[in-house]
Structure 1
């Protein structure tokens, strides 16, 4: 299933976050019922050689494979989707020009400039992948700076851009606020809702990174199409800390 197909069913996507470079940890996450999983190559500890076995581990479960690339670089964007990613999140997109350059890497000619060579993607997504690829891959431009906020209408009006992804921590820093997940009643919260409104106005999907299931549900109620909750590293730390605290407290 692709993200677009999931959205056509009328449901928001629940996305998990992977920063631990391990196939087994990925497999554990993939079997917990997430709609999609994103390998974080920006702030996680994962490089390309770690990405491929993580995508392979996802293939055993019914989960949509996604990647956050380290930065906008055509090479890693194209290699990630050649490896089988069906969603690509690109950080720090601050202008229409940057967004256009990013999405051009997601589509084959004549719609874009993606180079042909879907070495793993064709294996896992079918022999007719090349014909369907342009509509299978979903591109997210991360909106996380004051510059991007000011250029939001120019960015989301790009025809080939599928969605925006809000990074609340960098957005907070850019607005002079302390970085934290799940902001309430603040300039950051107002900016998040403004980005959502402009994306919807232009017919784009919107995603946001959250720190709790309760806040994620609130964001879905507000109109977000994809919500990320926690991460593999956070879940390991939280579970371990709870066990230690329960023992010490007992």
Structure 2
């Protein structure tokens, strides 16, 4: 093996991977976030407005600034997972994984035989990794999202699925599954207990616990709870908050 995924290296050093999220289809925005020092920048193809033709230059921009390019794919679809990995994603986040079978399908899409069923054709990935060796290319991160009631109930089975690297909490969808309004945190203990249950399952099975946050303060709390992959900011949320703040400072002038 001649390549080690930088996210794997971060966790092997016992450090926390801190990241940013891009909902906009902009390579310039992705590049700007990557310059700040985040370990990864994730392009969102599920709820963001980025398509495949947007994501490729976004990943080029992210890699160029030293961050790891990650993609949240729109669904647990082997063809789409394979495409973004071939284009140079060093990790994928797969939404709505509710069963160990779902998790195993996501893993299989990320790994070459005999570990999985990924088709070989690393058109840009070989440039990013610096190797065409499947052993090096297999270093990509497979992250699965637990955000449904069934996923919560079966989280230990999902975490025990061979090849799952990260379980990423979808706190808003998890809220809905628990009968709560969508939010990243709740005063209701049911939500806090569900998030803690997912994190604990990750610890038991040696899987990285990841989570979406609304900012650095929440990120600090999640890190203290044991999360080792924390997405701290969202590009559009930053723009809205910054714009509203400056508009407020201008007052009635």
Task: Please say whether Structure 1 and Structure 2 have the same fold, judged by a TM-score greater than 0.5.
Answer: yes
* TM-score under structure 1 length normalisation: 0.96
Q: Which residue of 2 aligns with 1:103?
A: 107
Q: Which residue of 2 aligns with 1:82?
A: 86
Partner SS state of residue 172, structure 2: helix
Cα 1:13/1:249, change in 2 over 3 Å? farther
Instruction: Work out the CA distance in 2 between the residues paired with 1:95 and 1:132.
Output: 28
Contact 1:90 1:141 in 2 (8 A): yes
Instruction: Work out the CA distance in 1 between the residues paired with 2:185 and 2:214.
Output: 6
Instruction: Work out the CA distance in 2 between the residues paired with 1:129 and 1:57.
Output: 24
Q: Which residue of 2 aligns with 1:121?
A: 125
Deviating more after overlay: 123-132 vs 13-22? 123-132
Of 123, 143, 151, the match for 2:154: 151
Q: Which residue of 1 aligns with 2:61?
A: 57
Contact 2:40 2:68 in 1 (8 A): yes
Once the 2 structures are TM-superposed, how far is the Cα of residue 131 of structure 1 from its aligned partner? 2.8
User: Is 1:244 matched with 2:220?
Assistant: no
User: Is 1:216 matched with 2:219?
Assistant: yes
Once the 2 structures are TM-superposed, how far is the Cα of residue 249 of structure 1 from its aligned partner? 5.2
After TM superposition, where is structure 1 displaced by more than 6 Å over at least 4 residues in a row?
Answer: none
Q: Which residue of 1 aligns with 2:176?
A: 173
- Matched residues, number: 249
Instruction: Work out the CA distance in 2 between the residues paired with 1:34 and 1:183.
Output: 26
Q: Which residue of 1 aligns with 2:231?
A: 228
Cα 1:149/1:122, change in 2 over 3 Å? same
User: Is 1:138 matched with 2:141?
Assistant: yes
Q: Which residue of 2 aligns with 1:91?
A: 95
Gap runs ≥5 in structure 1: none
Once the 2 structures are TM-superposed, how far is the Cα of residue 202 of structure 1 from its aligned partner? 1.0
Contact 2:185 2:191 in 1 (8 A): no
Cα 1:79/1:247, change in 2 over 3 Å? same
Once the 2 structures are TM-superposed, how far is the Cα of residue 90 of structure 1 from its aligned partner? 0.3
Contact 1:19 1:44 in 2 (8 A): yes
User: Is 1:206 matched with 2:236?
Assistant: no
For residues 38-59 of structure 1, the C-alpha deviation after alignment (integer angstroms, 9 at most, x for no partner) is 0000000011011101001112
Instruction: Work out the CA distance in 2 between the residues paired with 1:153 and 1:131.
Output: 28
Once the 2 structures are TM-superposed, how far is the Cα of residue 127 of structure 1 from its aligned partner? 2.4
Cα 1:242/1:158, change in 2 over 3 Å? same
